[in-house]
Amino acid sequence: MIDQWSNISQHILLAPVCVLCGDRGDAGLDLCRACRLDLPVIKVACERCAIPLPVAHHRGRHCGHCQTEPPAFEHCLAPFAYHAPLDHLLQDLKFNRRLALARTLGRLMARWLEDPTDGLPDRILPVPLHPARLRERGFNQSLELAHPISQRLKLPLDTHSCRRLRNTPPQAELSARQRHSNLKGAFAVEKKLGGRIAIIDDVMTTGSTVQELARTLRDAGATQIDIWVCARAGRI
C-alpha cells in the first residue's frame, strides 16, 4: 500500500507542469500544448543572421546588413523571437537560476533543429563564460541549453576548446563601436581546430559576442561556424 502511494505521489511530483500557466505539461515538456503553440516562433528570417523579417519578405533572402557586411558565421538558426514570454523565461533562467527552464527550452531548440536543410555540425560549443562570471552565477546558461541539444541530436559537446579571457561588461550598455572593442580578444583557443562547429547561446541581440567567438574559432581552423540561439532579438 505504501509502495503504491509512493508510486502515485512520485508520478504526480514528476509529471511535467507548464512553466507558464501551471497546467499539465505536454509531450514530455514543462509546457502545456496551448502555451507551446503560443510561443513567438519566427516565421521569416534572414538566412544568414536569423533576424526576423516582415512576412511579406521573400524567403531565402539576406537582410540589408548581411548583404553589405557578411558575418563571420555561415548561418544563425533561432526558433523564437525575443518577445514575451521568451524574454521573461530566458531572464528567469539566467538571473533566478531556474535551470529547469534550460531543459525545456533546450529540448524545444533540439526539436526545432533536428532536421536542418544543410546538415548537422560536427560538434556544438556553448559560448563560454568568464570564470569570475561563472562563479558569481553558478552555471553557464548556454551550456545548460546545450545539454539537451547534444543528447537529442547526438552531437559532441565541446566545453574545453575555448576559454573566455576577459569578463566583459554587459553589451547592452555599450555603443556598437564600444561593443566591438569590448569583445576584441575576449576568447582564446589554444589548440588547432577543424570541422564544422555550432555555437550555442541563449539570445542573440547585436550578434557581436558570437561574431567575435566565430572569428576566433575560424582563426583556429574551424571550417564552418553556425550559430544556434534560443531567441533572436531585433526588428520584425
Residue type, 223: T
Stretch of 27-35, 140-148, 151-159, 209-217 contacting Zn ion, by CB under 5 A: 27-35
Closest CA to 116 of 153, 72, 71: 153
CB of 142 to Zn ion, least distance (A): 21
Closest CA to 208 of 173, 236, 181, 235: 181
What's the grid cell of residue 113? 533543429
Stretch of 3-11, 61-69, 101-109, 156-164 contacting Zn ion, by CB under 5 A: 61-69
Tell me the helices (H) and strands (E) count for the chain, helix number first: 9, 7
Stretch of 17-25, 98-106, 121-129, 167-175 contacting Zn ion, by CB under 5 A: 17-25
Nearer to Zn ion, 53 or 125 (CB): 53
Q: Binding residue for Zn ion (CB under 5 A) from 18, 45, 229, 230?
A: 18
Contacts with Zn ion: how many residues (CB under 5 A)?
Answer: 11
Nearer to Zn ion, 35 or 155 (CB): 35
Closest CA to 73 of 185, 186, 199: 199
Q: Residue 137 CB: number of other CB atoms within 10 A?
A: 13
Q: Binding residue for Zn ion (CB under 5 A) from 63, 129, 155, 193?
A: 63
Q: Binding residue for Zn ion (CB under 5 A) from 29, 39, 49, 86?
A: 49
Residue 161 and residue 193 in contact, taking contact as beta carbons nearer than 8 Å: yes
Q: Binding residue for Zn ion (CB under 5 A) from 6, 9, 10, 21?
A: 21
Helices 176-183 + 208-219 axis angle, to 10: 40
Q: Is 105 in the site for Zn ion (CB under 5 A)?
A: no
Stretch of 4-12, 66-74, 86-94, 187-195 contacting Zn ion, by CB under 5 A: 66-74
Q: Is 48 in the site for Zn ion (CB under 5 A)?
A: yes
Rounded CA-CA distance 180/189 in Å is 19
Nearer to Zn ion, 74 or 212 (CB): 74
Nearer to Zn ion, 35 or 86 (CB): 35
Q: Is 233 in the site for Zn ion (CB under 5 A)?
A: no
Nearer to Zn ion, 20 or 174 (CB): 20
Q: What sections of the chain are H helices per DSSP?
A: 2-14, 33-37, 64-68, 86-95, 99-113, 131-137, 141-153, 176-183, 208-219
Nearer to Zn ion, 18 or 189 (CB): 18
Rounded CA-CA distance 65/187 in Å is 24
Name the residues that contact Zn ion, by CB under 5 A.
18, 20-21, 23, 32, 35, 46, 48-49, 63, 66
